[in-house]
Amino acid sequence: MSKSALVILAQGAEEMETVITVDMLRRGGVTVTVAGLDGSDPVLCSRQITLVPDKSLADALTEKQQYDAVILPGGLEGSDRLSKSSVVGTLLKEHENTGKIVAAICAAPTAFVAHGVAKGKRVTSYPTTKDKITSDYSYVEGERVVVDDNIVTSRGPGTAYWFGLKLIEMLTGKEKADQVEKGMIITGY
């Protein structure tokens, strides 16, 4: 059975971080559910692109309580909405506690702080959000993607290719990640 990933889409999410991650994971053979935080209606993202979620977060969690990975795209407004959602807080903690992958990119690691998730871990985030990552965390600069046990964080839209590759590697193996990289022509152009 293929691995599963839940990507939570909030209004104001960074659309390329969302789409790059979902597209790449699907190329990597992962079954990805794009779940709308506030329902199944189309979601207006940070640069005015509208994405249609596969289903509402409520439905996604009714159908399946645990995913192999829960992934938070960035965007300032989107991350703020994820930070304020108690449903997101609960599901992040449940996935962290059972050793599932919990991942966030750009401004979204601030939602970890808001919900008390991944405490004590090495994390990174969008540079201007660094001061929101409290001393409960060990902040890392100079790496595109930071992995500490089951916690995966990345820096911004321009590091999303490598965030996607790392998640594929962790979910379906290095060989598959290398295939996706080759098919996308990140290198070898």
Residues labelled catalytic: 106
Residues numbered 111-140 forming contacts with a copy of itself, rule: CB under 8 A? 126-127
Shorter beta-carbon distance to a copy of itself: residue 48 or 86: 48
> How far apart (Å, rounded) are the C-alpha atoms in residues 144 and 121?
16
Binding mask 59-98 for a copy of itself (x = CB under 8 A): ----------------------------------------
C-alpha torsion 5→100→187→178, nearest 10: -90
Q: What is the residue type of 97?
A: N
Confirm if 100 and 68 have CB atoms less than 8 A apart: yes
Q: Is 48 in the site for a copy of itself (CB under 8 A)?
A: yes
> How far apart (Å, rounded) are the C-alpha atoms in residues 31 and 149?
22
Listed in sequence order, the residues at least 6 apart from 162 whose beta carbon sits closer than 8 Å to its beta carbon are 144, 145, 154
Q: Which of 30, 34, 37, 170 binds a copy of itself (CB under 8 A)?
A: 34
- DSSP code for 137: S
Per CB under 8 A, the segment of 20-28, 59-67, 76-84, 109-117 that binds a copy of itself is 20-28
Residues that bind a copy of itself in the complex, under the rule CB under 8 A: 14-16, 19-20, 22-24, 26-27, 34, 42, 46-52, 126-127, 141-144, 155-159, 161, 181, 183-187, 189
